[in-house]
Chains A and B, each alone.
Chain A
Amino acid sequence: MLEELILEVKNVKYTRDGVTLLNNISFSLKKGEAMVIFGTEDSGISHLFDVIIRGDVSFEGDVLYKGSSIKELDYFSLMEYKEEIGYLHGDYGLISNLSVEQNISLPLEYHSSLSGAEIKNYVNKLIFDLNLDHCKKLRPFQLSRSEILKTAFARSIANEPDLLYLEHAFENQCYLNIITIFDILKKRIARKDKSLIIVTYRPENFIDIANRFIMFFNGRIVFEGSKDEFLYSQNPYLIQYKTNNPEGPMVIL
């Protein structure tokens, strides 16, 4: 059913400087679904960001968000579209002259109709949930890696986005330190109205969260399946990736 879909990527071909980065990519994401997209470094997973999040419309095919093509968005609709999607990338991008709580409240201060007191209460709850109480007045340069990630994560979900897009956000992190984030992600997925896309090199870390897995290679989808299929499929690309084997259908430079 179309109304259940939050995101639909249809036959997308994305070319930059004469190089085809994504070739005939199609997939869809339902409400309440958590998808892990993985692949090697030049597989094209990073270029999905340009097409889905950044709003670069110079691609062939179409991307529909809640049934509407993002190609038809004007300047302001694109801003609203970005406001509706929570995005977190591996560089985190915390504003260096703002404290933890100011960073988290920034999207709310800018967009939301909540009062100052309501924003403060809501941000304090997020800070408590993520164990950031001890550092809420600190600036990013005073934080540890996991605190930076937690702050950026809190900021990305502050607006209660229907789609959360996490791109290489957990790489180089100690998973024990960020267990609170995984708890929040599990709760979000259990709500059935919030969707999640995780772009990563380590799909095995998200088996407890995700229910769909897509593998890219050379700008194409080479594997797509459920959690069980990801675990037990004999897809040669998947096996080569999971076993870190240089021998296989993928030629790794």
Chain B
Amino acid sequence: MIENTVIKIGRWAIDIRNGVKDFSLFIKSIVTSFKSLRYIRFRSLYTIIINQTRFTGVDALSIVIIIALLLGATVIIQALTSLPKFGVEGFLGNLLVIIIARELGPLATTLIVIARSGSAIATEISVQKWSKEILAMELMGIDTKLFIVFPRIIASILSIMGLIIIFDVVAFIGGYLIALTVIYIPMDTFGQTLIDSFTFKDITAALAKSILFGIAVPLICCYYGFKPNSKFEIPIFVSKAVIRTLFVAIIVNIAISTIFYLI
């Protein structure tokens, strides 16, 4: 029994080590492929960046706005009902900034992007690999690592950055409108409280998160997209792509919050 458990843990550790090594090699190949940038015409990447930004950013706007409204409202309702009990209702703005701008906005936005675009990236690449589209590109002398991964990273950074800003703004406005149904707070007071609560650190932390999420989401999803060697492996690796990107996103979120607010 104990022996079996030790063997299982050992195998698990070896799998993790091999996975990390393989992912490092993938990143190395991406970095190497960046050198091809000087050989290619940027116009061939431009269309992909535009299309990916439209799919990841613009097309996700409606769902981001709805979720931002709902989450913003939930936070405000909880704040309005709980803060007076502790006599700290004056800290409503601080609470909104802490919960929505610092944590909920970046994380919820990234989770939406992972669910929509991360899974789409992994599926698209796996299907392209299976139908030998990627092989065809390689045989045209196209650096597929650069051609496929690089535009998605750029599009993802731009989209996540934009969506986080929109999420925060909508959550604040939505929260304010919901709050109005319970208690009257003048608009200028509400706005001033929010502005006073924002610090430069909050903005840089949100920026760092959007850049790191923007790199991590397409990178991990592309990595798993390139993995399947047969058709039946496609759903297995797409599922892995989504779950592991979610996991990494939460870890990155904690790491950045720790670096910016704890250390």
Contacts and interface: CB of A to CB of B under 8 A. Distances in A.
Interface of A: 53-54, 75-76, 79-85, 87, 89, 91-97, 106-107, 109-113, 116, 152, 155, 159
Contact of A93 (B32, B127, B133): B133
Q: Can you list the 7 inter-chain pairs with the closest CB atoms, starting with the nearest?
A: A93-B136, A83-B141, A82-B141, A109-B44, A110-B44, A93-B132, A91-B132
Contacts of A152: 136
Nearest to B29: A75
Interface of B: 32, 35-36, 39-41, 43-44, 124, 127-128, 131-133, 135-143, 147
B137 A95 contact: yes
A82 B132 CA distance: 16
Contacts of B36: 76, 79
A79 B132 contact: no
Given A76-B35, A76-B39, A110-B41, A95 B128 contact: yes
Contacts of B135: 89, 93
24 contacts: A54-B139, A75-B32, A76-B39, A79-B141, A82-B139, A87-B140, A91-B131, A92-B132, A93-B133, A93-B136, A95-B133, A95-B137, A96-B128, A106-B140, A107-B142, A109-B43, A110-B40, A110-B140, A110-B142, A111-B40, A111-B41, A116-B43, A152-B136, A159-B140
Given A110-B140, A111-B41, A89 B132 contact: yes
Given A53-B139, A79-B143, A87-B139, 6 more contacts: A81-B141, A93-B135, A107-B142, A110-B140, A113-B41, A152-B136
B131 A96 contact: yes
- Interface class of chain A by DSSP: helix
Contacts of A54: 139
Contacts of B131: 91, 93, 96
- Interface class of chain B by DSSP: helix
A133 B55 CA distance: 29
Nearest to A113: B41
Contacts of B139: 53-54, 82, 85, 87
Nearest to A87: B139
Nearest to A114: B41
Contact of A94 (B41, B136, B141): B136
Nearest to A93: B136
A79 B133 CA distance: 17
Chain A CB within 10 Å, residue with most, of B128, B133, B143: B133
Contacts of B147: 110
Nearest to A165: B139
A83 B41 CA distance: 14
Contacts of A109: 41, 43-44
Chain A CB within 10 Å, residue with most, of B40, B131, B140: B140
B69 to A, nearest CB: 32
Contacts of A89: 132, 135-136
A82 B140 CA distance: 6
Nearest to A119: B43
Contact of A82 (B32, B44, B138): B138
A91 B137 CA distance: 13
A212 B138 CA distance: 29
A205 B141 CA distance: 30
A207 B157 CA distance: 55
Contacts of B39: 76, 79-80
Contacts of A107: 140-142
Nearest to B40: A110
Chain A CB within 10 Å, residue with most, of B35, B128, B141: B141
Nearest to A156: B140
B151 to A, nearest CB: 12
